């Protein structure tokens, strides 16, 4: 599971492009994607499929990974829909709306839905259904999925049933999602329904020693 590289709205602390902010990657984001691709190729994976959220930033990341095969657009990997929650937001308004999202979601983090948007439960359901169907048909090799922070968090709850996710603070709190350009890696034994091992490449731009890629305990209950 690869999170797309940095894009312009990330630098404004917005969860998705609004009001004309660029939907594409910044130069830092492009280098994150290239570095991530070098790491994945260095692992010697037999990549059988590369799937991507239909958003421009995810498709650009997927292309820059430089992996074999055609990038397949995949709607279930799309960003969480925030509806009208951040329309017109800039500067201090972004912080105010983020704080209000936290307040409203506190009682039911997975069920709260921003006006015109999606709840995290809905994101979890669509990502989880796609993962179950896709992994059931994957008998060998590696699947690379390029997506977004909250969709990857939702995927983790599907891949690791024992992990108890705590999605607050929303939408960009510390530890809430993996960083831009990061990768969560899962390894399955033959015919297993849950992963045997997992690992994290948190920042491909600063990790230069291949030995740093190792299966490690990640933050979260049940990890």
Q: What is the pLDDT of residues 128-147, one digit of tens each?
A: 999 999 988 888 889 999 99
Q: What is the pLDDT of residue 52?
A: 96
Tell me the pairing of strands 183-187 and 197-201: antiparallel
CB 4, CB 25: distance < 8 Å: yes
Give pTM, 2 decimals: 0.85
The average confidence (pLDDT) of the chain is 81
Q: Is the pLDDT confidence value at 221 over 90?
A: no
Domains of the chain: 2-212 (3.40.50.1240)
pLDDT at position 27 over 80? yes
pLDDT above 70 (res 91): yes
- The pLDDT of residue 129: 95
Nearest to 52 by CA among 148, 145, 116: 145
The CA distance from 154 to 44, in Å, is 27
pLDDT-derived band at 211 (thresholds 50, 70, 90) equals very low
Q: Is the pLDDT of residue 8 over 70?
A: yes
């Amino acid at each position: 599971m690869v999170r797309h590289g940095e894009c312009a709205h990330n630098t404004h602390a917005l969860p998705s492009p609004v009001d004309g902010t660029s939907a594409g990657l910044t130069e830092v984001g492009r280098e994150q994607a290239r570095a991530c691709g070098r790491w994945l190729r260095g692992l010697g994976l037999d990549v059988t499929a590369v799937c991507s959220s239909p958003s421009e930033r995810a498709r650009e990341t997927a292309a820059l990974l430089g992996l074999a095969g055609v990038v397949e657009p995949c709607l279930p990997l799309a960003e969480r829909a925030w509806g009208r929650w951040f329309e017109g937001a800039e500067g201090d308004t972004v912080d105010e709306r983020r704080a209000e999202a936290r307040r409203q979601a506190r009682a039911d983090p997975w069920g709260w839905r921003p006006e015109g948007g999606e709840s995290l439960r809905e994101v979890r359901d669509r990502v989880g259904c796609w993962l179950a169907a896709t992994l059931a048909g994957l008998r060998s090799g590696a699947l690379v999925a390029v997506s977004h922070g909250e969709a990857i968090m939702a995927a983790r709850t599907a891949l690791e049933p024992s992990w108890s996710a705590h999605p607050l603070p929303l939408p960009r709190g510390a530890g809430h999602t993996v960083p831009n350009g990061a990768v969560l890696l899962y390894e399955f034994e033959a015919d297993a329904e849950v992963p045997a091992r997992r690992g994290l490449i948190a920042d491909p731009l600063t990790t230069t020693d291949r030995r740093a890629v190792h299966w490690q305990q990640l933050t979260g209950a049940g990890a």
